[in-house]
Amino acid sequence: MKTATSEQPTLELDQRVLEASDYLRTCLRIPELDFPIKARYAIASEQEVLHPIIHNNDVIAIVGAFYGDEGKGKLIDAVAHHPLIQLIMRANGGENAGHTVFLNGVEYIFHLTPSAILVPDKTCLIGQNCEIDPLTFMPDEIQPLQKEGISLDKLFIGNAHIVTPYHKLMDLIGNPKNTSTLRGMGPSHASKAARKGLRLNDLYLSEKEQACYLLEDMRSYEGLLHTLSISESELIDRCRELNTSFKRIPDHVIQFLREKDKVSFLIDLYQKTVTTNSDFPKQVNSTQLLNETLEQGKKVLLEGSQARMLSNAEGTCWRKSTSADTTAAGLIAAAGYNPTKYGTAVINVAKFPSSKVGAGPNPTAYVPQNFFSSRNVETLDDIVDVCDDFDAIQKKFFESIRDNGTMFESTYTDKDGRTYAISAAMAIASSRHHKERGATTKKPRITGLFDCVVHHSVNQAQGPLLAINALDRGDDYDNVGITIAYIVYSPEGELTADGRTYKTGDIIKAGQPLPNETVLSKCYKIMRVLPGWKKTPLKNLKPTDPLPPEAEHYIGAIKLYTGADPISMGTGTGNKDIHYLKRTN
């Protein structure tokens, strides 16, 4: 752990960002910055807003709108408590997703178990297109629930794909430091696509049959070690190093490296953990259970993992995506029902401020996505006591936005005398102030403004319903902002994406196609500054209170630029901290 008095990471902005800021001052003000915000909203009841959505559809899919970590758990809990919802399903993805739910003051972090397991008398299902490591699933998710007395009688699991220790090691070998959850998702999905590896049903085969599958699948792991001239003793050292701050590599993965007969080691562990373990969830044909539920006229909640912009099927950020199709369409396809037969409502979830953990282009962020990882900042503890005067920093940040909506990189001097570009100070202060760290990786998330350019494309594909979480964080801001367009800065020359040529100075507005990640990496945000609601905070808002006009204005701006229909806002960490919204004009 780094401390303010020992080794401090270098936290200056890259020179390229500073050069872009200098160029952006010459850009003309776009007309969209002056569009009138007409939509008006008021607080409504759950019965007025959420219940009609549930009544009018057979399936409710709750998905992340941006890059995950949006706090989907609160809305999932609200929908799951409705008496007509009988089955809650995780249909794809794996333990790289972290869903946090607060219940009666207790924090629960779920990676694969549907977070609605906390709702009594509901059936929860892990589908056949999920990826599971039983050796972490049992101690990390099932046993803590058992200790809390949570009933698991109605938790079922389909023929999911098995994530093995060698998948996690391949993830470790194949990814630079701090760019992966190290949960083995990429390699395990590669095994899935190659039709190799094990599925849950295979653990009930003979040891000889399991060994054949494992030996064939492990060739990729062995070949990677050989090609890169990496020894398993070196991997053990790397695992120990990664586990210095907190345990990122499970014990069974390190033990796998020590074993000579790795196949027998795995078969024995899977037998103890799954096939002879009465605590392992009951197995079912997940597609059959889902469709039988719908045929009986009961309603289903699909719990999405990650978010649309992290989907492997989303071309915009494909190289830095997760390995599953985490769009709404991918979730529905993975679940395995007929959406033309059963009506489906998709609710997109975003939050204030937006955040992303991991690599990839993200123009709306305060700093580039590799800002922390390239500076060896692995957890928030690595920047303890740095840029902690959030109030002063947020004020200066919004004062540094030019009339044309671009950023002037003024400087901020911290209490120790160190000087930071204001965007860097805002990134550090925001992550620390809002405790933005990955539920799985503990990495500090890169935060930023609500991105109307991205969300317009999300809305086109799976809109219009939108829930905005953590809006009470705006209580701490004198001003708030949204990204309404991007501007390209590419001094190296022109770029081509989808048949279009992009050059320095080109504007990409909300409603226009998102370019590929190469172009996005050369894009900078154009921001509209709006008044904050510091004087009328949302934190203590009662259902009978009027919506503060500044918050109403912010929500209306999102409606203006994206076409979305905001239906709720979150104002706290608790499951009851949801205020539903209705449009009044």
Show which residues are catalytic.
Answer: 69, 99
Got the DSSP string for 524-536? EEEEEEEE--TTS
For residue 9, is the peptide bond before it cis, meaning its omega torsion is within 30 degrees of 0?
no
Pairwise CA distance, residues 129 & 116, whole Å: 19
CB 430 within 8 A of CB 480: no
> In whole angstroms, what separates CA 391 from the centre of its chain?
27
Distance (Å) of CA 312 to CA 12, 320, 327:
32, 9, 9
CB 348 within 8 A of CB 304: no
Tokens, residue 196: 């190799």
368 Cβ neighbours under 8 A, 6+ residues apart: 14, 17, 362, 446
Distance (Å) of CA 92 to CA 85, 189, 276, 324:
20, 11, 26, 7
Spell out a b/e string for 109-148, using b for 16 or more CB atoms within 10 Å of the CB, else e: ebbbbbbbbbbeebbbbbbbbbbbbbbbbbebbbeebeee
Tokens, residue 358: 């991991």
Provide the 3-class DSSP secondary structure of residue 264. Answer: helix
Pairwise CA distance, residues 449 & 235, whole Å: 39
- CA atoms within 13 Å, Cβ hemisphere of 13: 26
Pairwise CA distance, residues 408 & 421, whole Å: 9
